[in-house]
Amino acid sequence: MKIYTKTGDAGTTALFGGTRVPKHHIRIDSYGTVDELNSYIGLIRDQAIDAHYKEILIKIQDRLFTAGAILATDPEKAILKSGKERLNIPKISEANITLLETEMDQMNDSLPPMTHFVLPGGHTTVSYCHIARCVCRRAERLAALLHAESPIDPQVLKYLNRLSDYLFVLARKLTYDLQAEEIKWIPEKLE
C-alpha cells in the first residue's frame, strides 16, 4: 500500500465510499480531530502510568478508530447495493459508554470530592490529559455540527461526550497517583 496517492493534491479527499469532498469539509474536520485526539491519547498511554489505565486507553483508541470510520463514511454510500453496510466494523455500543462511566466511578471513589474547578497542569502527564480533554470537546463540537448537517450515529456523539468527562477524571486521578498539586480555581475578588 502506497502512502502517497497524489489524489489530494488539488485540495480534495475521498470519503469512505468514494465521494470526493474539499479537505476543509466539516466531515473531514470531524474525523481529523478524532484522529488528533487518538494521537494525544497515545501520548498519555506512553507515560509512566498504571497498566490498567493503559489497557483502557487502548480500548478507547480502538473505539476512536471506529468513530473516525463512521465519520469518514459518506452516509449516502454507507449501504452497499446488496443492502449490507459498507463498514464491516463494530459500532460504538452502550457497553463502550458504560465502560467509561464505570471507570470514572471507580476513579472518583478514590478521589476527594471536587469543590472547585481545577487549573490544568501540575504534572506533564496530567497536562496531556487536559489537552486530550480539550481536543475531545472540539471533536464533539465538530461532530455535533456535522450531525446537524448530515445525521451521524448518535452513539458517536454520546461517546465523545463521555470520553471528555473520562479524560477529566483521569487527569484528577493521575494528579493524585503522581502526587502532583491540584490547584483549585478560586476567582480573584473584584476590587
- Per-residue confidence (pLDDT) for residue 11, from 0 to 100: 83
Cell of 2: 502506497
Give the model confidence (pLDDT) of 51-84 as tens digits: 999 999 999 999 999 999 999 987 776 666 676 7
Band (16; pLDDT cuts 50, 70, 90)? confident
Give the model confidence (pLDDT) of 75-113 as tens digits: 776 666 676 776 777 899 999 999 999 999 999 999 988
- Per-residue confidence (pLDDT) for residue 78, from 0 to 100: 62
For 20, the enclosing helix (H) or strand (E) is strand 20-22
Average of per-residue pLDDT across 123-136? 98
Average pLDDT, the chain: 90
Domain ranges of the chain: 19-75+88-177
- For the structural domain made of 19-75+88-177, what CATH number should be given? 1.20.1200.10
Band (34; pLDDT cuts 50, 70, 90)? very high
Inter-residue long-range contacts of 60-66, CB under 8 Å, 24+ positions, other chains counted: 60/100, 60/163, 60/166, 63/92, 63/96, 63/159, 64/34, 64/35, 64/37, 64/38, 65/38, 66/90, 66/91, 66/92
Determine phi and psi for 159, rounding to 5 degrees.
Answer: -65, -45
Give the model confidence (pLDDT) of 130-160 as tens digits: 999 999 999 999 999 999 999 999 999 999 9
98-131 burial: b if 16+ Cβ within 10 Å, else e: ebbeebbeebeeeeeeeeeebebebbebbbbbbb
Average of per-residue pLDDT across 163-169? 98
In the predicted structure, residue 162 carries a pLDDT above the cut 80: yes
